[in-house]
């Protein structure tokens, strides 16, 4: 890794590829060749126009996030909490089960809920991601927040209480 990076992207540790997000970032980077971007890509295909690694150690990833102007994460709670813990409101792109990016669409519901509470900036599609990245780099303070004091953990617990019954209902329907 060369760093420092203005944009850090993480697809998390799920075994499903997230080529959609990596591809969107790669396309955005073509129009922004002066912006240093690091993508932690997991099982996704390597991007052509930005630096990427399959995985980063936790400390390396959080340090890269802390030094960035913008953090882009998949819609899982881990990456969101990590970004918030170092003072970033992350831009999030939810994985979609319907596209083979996860087992189901729970990240869509989770990130919508987080977005409604302004805990994240939600990018529902590539145009949203481009607009949010451009906005974030034009004013890096727009995404800065006080490092979380643990409220995200409580938020995740509340969300889990909402989602667990939905997942159970979905599993029950699958086994009929």
Q: State the 10-residue block means of pLDDT for the chain, 176 residues long.
A: 82 88 97 96 94 95 95 92 94 83 77 92 96 95 82 67 72 65
- pLDDT for the residue 98: 82
In CATH, the number for domain 7-174 is: 3.40.50
- What does the domain layout of the chain look like in residue ranges? 7-174
Residue 39 is predicted with a pLDDT of 97
Q: How far apart are CA 51 and CA 7, in angstroms?
A: 11
Predicted pLDDT of residue 156: 67
Q: What does pTM read for this prediction?
A: 0.82
What local confidence, expressed as pLDDT, does residue 162 receive?
A: 74
DSSP 3-state of 3: coil
Torsion of the alpha carbons at 99, 84, 149 and 144, rounded to the nearest 10: -140
Yes or no: say if 119 and 89 are a contact pair by the CB < 8 Å rule.
Answer: yes
């Amino acid at each position: 890794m060369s760093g420092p990076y203005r944009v850090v992207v993480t697809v998390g540790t799920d075994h499903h590829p997230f080529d959609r997000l990596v591809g969107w970032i790669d396309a955005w980077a073509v129009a922004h060749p002066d912006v240093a971007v690091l993508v932690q890509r997991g099982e996704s295909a390597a991007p052509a126009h930005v630096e990427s690694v399959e995985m980063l150690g936790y400390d390396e990833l959080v340090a890269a996030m802390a030094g960035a102007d913008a953090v882009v994460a998949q819609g899982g709670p881990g990456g969101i909490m990590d970004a918030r813990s170092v003072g970033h409101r992350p831009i999030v792109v939810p994985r979609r089960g319907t596209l083979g990016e996860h087992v189901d669409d729970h990240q869509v519901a989770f990130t919508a809920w987080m977005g409604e509470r302004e805990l994240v900036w939600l990018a529902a599609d590539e145009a949203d991601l481009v607009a949010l990245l451009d906005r974030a780099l034009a004013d890096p303070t727009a995404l800065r927040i006080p490092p979380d004091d643990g409220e995200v953990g409580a938020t995740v617990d509340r969300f889990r209480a909402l989602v667990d019954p939905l997942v159970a209902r979905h599993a029950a329907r699958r086994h009929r």
